[in-house]
Amino acid sequence: MKQQHKKSKVVSFNKWGYIFLIPFVVVYLVFSFVPLVSTIYYSFFEKYRVGVIEVGPNWIWFDNYKTLLTNGDLITYTTNTLVMWIIGFIPQLLVSLLLGSWFSDTRLRIKGSAFFKTVIYLPNLIMASAFAMLFFTLFSDGGPINAMLQSLGLQNPDVPYKWLQHAWSARGIVGFLNFLMWFGNTTILLMAGMMGIDPSLFEAAEVDGANATQVFWKITLPLLRPILVFVLITSLVGGIQMFDVPQILTNGTGDPLRSSMTLIMYLNKHLFSKNYGMAGALSVVLFIITGILSLLVYKVSTAKD
Amino acid sequence: MKKKLLSVLLSTAMVSALLVGCNGTTEEVVEETGEEVVAEEGGEEEVAEAADEGKVLNIYCWNEEFKSRVEDHYPGYEKVDATSGKIGDVTVKFNITANQDNAYQNNLDEKLLAQDSAAADDKIDIFLIEADYALKYVDTDYALALSEIGITDADVAGQFQYTKDVVTDSNGNLKGSSWQGCPGALIYRRDIAEEVLGVSEPADVQPFVKDWDTFLDTAAKMKDKGYFMTSSVMDTYRTYSNNVTSKWVEGDKINIDANIDKWVDDSKVMVDKGYAGTHGLWSDDWSKGFFMDGKVFCYFGPAWLINFCMSCDQEGSVGSEGQWAITEGPQGFFWGGTWMCVAAGTDNPTLCKDLVLTMTTDTDVLREITTDDDDFTNNEALMNEMAEEDGFGNDYLGGQNPLGIFAKGVSTVDLSNLSAYDQGCNEEFQNAMTQYFNGEATKDEALELFYTAVLEKYPNLSK
- Which pLDDT score, from 0 to 100, does residue B36 have? 38
| Shortest CA distance from B107: residue in chain A | A52
DSSP state for residue B309 in the 8-state scheme: I
pLDDT above 70: residue B79: yes
pLDDT above 90: residue A85: yes
Closest CA to A48 of A280, A275, A278: A275
C-beta separation of B287 from B237 below 8 A: no
Of A51, A142, A270, the CB nearest to B288: A142
- pTM of structure: 0.77
| Shortest CA distance from A25: residue in chain B | B15
Average pLDDT rounded to a whole number, residues B371-379: 82
Best mean pLDDT range from A68-77, B42-51, B445-454: B445-454
- Which pLDDT score, from 0 to 100, does residue B450 have? 92
- Which pLDDT score, from 0 to 100, does residue B3 have? 58
Of B15, B420, B456, the CB nearest to A270: B456
- Which pLDDT score, from 0 to 100, does residue B223 have? 92
Contact B285 A275 (CB under 8 A): no
pLDDT tens per residue across span A93-120: 999 999 988 888 777 777 888 888 888 8
pLDDT above 80: residue B181: yes
- Report how far Cα B38 is from the mean position of its chain's Cα atoms: 27
Question: Hey, what CATH class is B184-333+393-457 in?
Answer: alpha beta
Which residues on B lie below 8 Å from A53 (Cβ)?
140
C-beta separation of A282 from A267 below 8 A: yes
Average pLDDT rounded to a whole number, residues B107-123: 87
3-state secondary structure of B398: coil
Whether A169 contacts chain B with CB within 8 A: no
Average pLDDT rounded to a whole number, residues B412-426: 82
pLDDT tens per residue across span A248-289: 888 888 878 888 899 999 999 888 888 889 999 999 999 998
Smallest Cα distance from A2 to chain B, Å: 18
Which residues on B lie below 8 Å from A16 (Cβ)?
7
Contact A257 B14 (CB under 8 A): no
- Which pLDDT score, from 0 to 100, does residue B4 have? 60
- Which pLDDT score, from 0 to 100, does residue B78 have? 86
Domain ranges of chain B: 52-181+337-387, 184-333+393-457
Contact A140 B434 (CB under 8 A): no
With cut-offs at 50, 70 and 90, classify the pLDDT of residue B28.
very low
Average pLDDT rounded to a whole number, residues B109-125: 87
Least confident of A11-20, A54-63, B137-146, B171-180: A11-20
Whether A255 contacts chain B with CB within 8 A: yes
Q: How far apart are CA B301 and CA B236, in angstroms?
A: 9
- Which pLDDT score, from 0 to 100, does residue A250 have? 86
- Which pLDDT score, from 0 to 100, does residue B48 have? 36
- Which pLDDT score, from 0 to 100, does residue B27 have? 38
Q: Quote the percentage of chain A above a pLDDT of 90.
A: 28
Contact B460 A55 (CB under 8 A): yes
Contact B278 A257 (CB under 8 A): no
pLDDT tens per residue across span B31-71: 333 343 333 333 333 333 334 678 888 999 988 888 888 88
Contact A253 B431 (CB under 8 A): yes
What kind of architecture, by CATH, is found in domain B52-181+337-387?
Answer: 3-Layer(aba) Sandwich (3.40)
C-beta separation of A256 from A170 below 8 A: yes
> What dihedral angle (degrees, nearest 10) is formed by the CA atoms of B229, B230, B232, B238?
-130
Contact A256 B19 (CB under 8 A): no
pLDDT tens per residue across span A153-166: 888 777 788 888 88
Q: How far apart are CA B167 and CA B275, in angstroms?
A: 37
Q: How far apart are CA B11 and CA A19, in angstroms?
A: 7
> What dihedral angle (degrees, nearest 10) is formed by the CA atoms of B126, B131, B137, B140?
120
Contact A142 B15 (CB under 8 A): no
Q: Quote the percentage of chain A above a pLDDT of 70.
A: 95
pLDDT tens per residue across span B280-299: 888 888 888 899 888 899 99
- Which pLDDT score, from 0 to 100, does residue B391 have? 76
Contact B440 A257 (CB under 8 A): yes
Average pLDDT rounded to a whole number, residues A179-208: 90
Least confident of A49-63, A135-149, B46-60, B240-254: B46-60
Of A22, A52, A142, the CB nearest to B109: A52
Instruction: Reduce the secondary structure of A163-225 to three states and give it as a string.
Output: HHHCHHHHHHHHHHHHHHHHHHHHHHHHHHHHHCCCHHHHHHHHHCCCCHHHHHHHHHHHHHH
Whether A16 contacts chain B with CB within 8 A: yes
**Is the backbone of residue B456 left (phi > 0), alpha (psi -120 to 50) or beta?**
alpha
C-beta separation of A247 from A3 below 8 A: no
- Which pLDDT score, from 0 to 100, does residue B37 have? 39
Of B19, B137, B457, the CB nearest to A273: B457
With cut-offs at 50, 70 and 90, classify the pLDDT of residue B320.
confident
pLDDT above 90: residue A172: yes
Which residues on B lie below 8 Å from A255 (Cβ)?
431, 434-435
Smallest Cα distance from A19 to chain B, Å: 7
Mean of per-residue pLDDT scores for chain B: 83
Chains A–B, number of C-beta pairs less than 8 Å apart = 101
Domain ranges of chain A: 2-59, 64-301
Superfamily of domain A64-301: MetI-like (1.10.3720.10)
pLDDT tens per residue across span B226-271: 999 999 999 999 899 888 888 898 888 898 999 999 999 999 999 9
pLDDT above 50: residue B30: no
pLDDT above 90: residue B427: no
Mean of per-residue pLDDT scores for chain A: 86
Which residues on B lie below 8 Å from A143 (Cβ)?
284
pLDDT above 90: residue B84: no
Least confident of B172-181, B357-366, B400-409: B400-409
- Which is more confidently placed, A252 or B123? B123
- Chain A window 127-156: which residues touch B at a Cβ cutoff of 8 Å? 137, 140-143
Smallest Cα distance from A256 to chain B, Å: 6
Average pLDDT rounded to a whole number, residues B208-236: 92
Please name the amino acid found at residue A172. G
Q: Quote the percentage of chain B above a pLDDT of 90.
A: 22
- Partnered with residue B180 across adjacent β-strands are B377
Average pLDDT rounded to a whole number, residues A297-303: 78
Contact A270 B136 (CB under 8 A): no
Closest CA to B144 of B280, B306, B399, B342: B342
pLDDT tens per residue across span B4-21: 655 655 555 555 544 444
Contact B140 A53 (CB under 8 A): yes
Average pLDDT rounded to a whole number, residues A127-144: 86
pLDDT above 80: residue B212: yes
pLDDT above 80: residue A5: no
For B35, phi then psi, to 5°, come to -120, 120
- Chain A window 203-242: which residues touch B at a Cβ cutoff of 8 Å? none
With cut-offs at 50, 70 and 90, classify the pLDDT of residue A33.
very high
Which ipTM did the prediction report?
A: 0.77
Smallest Cα distance from A230 to chain B, Å: 33
Q: How far apart are CA B191 and CA A159, in angstroms?
A: 25
Contact A167 B288 (CB under 8 A): no
Among A22, A25, A64, A272, the residue to mutate for chain B (most B Cβ within 10 A): A272
Which residues on B lie below 8 Å from A73 (Cβ)?
452
- Partnered with residue B188 across adjacent β-strands are B298, B325
Q: How far apart are CA B384 and CA B408, in angstroms?
A: 9
Contact B140 A257 (CB under 8 A): no
C-beta separation of B138 from B129 below 8 A: yes
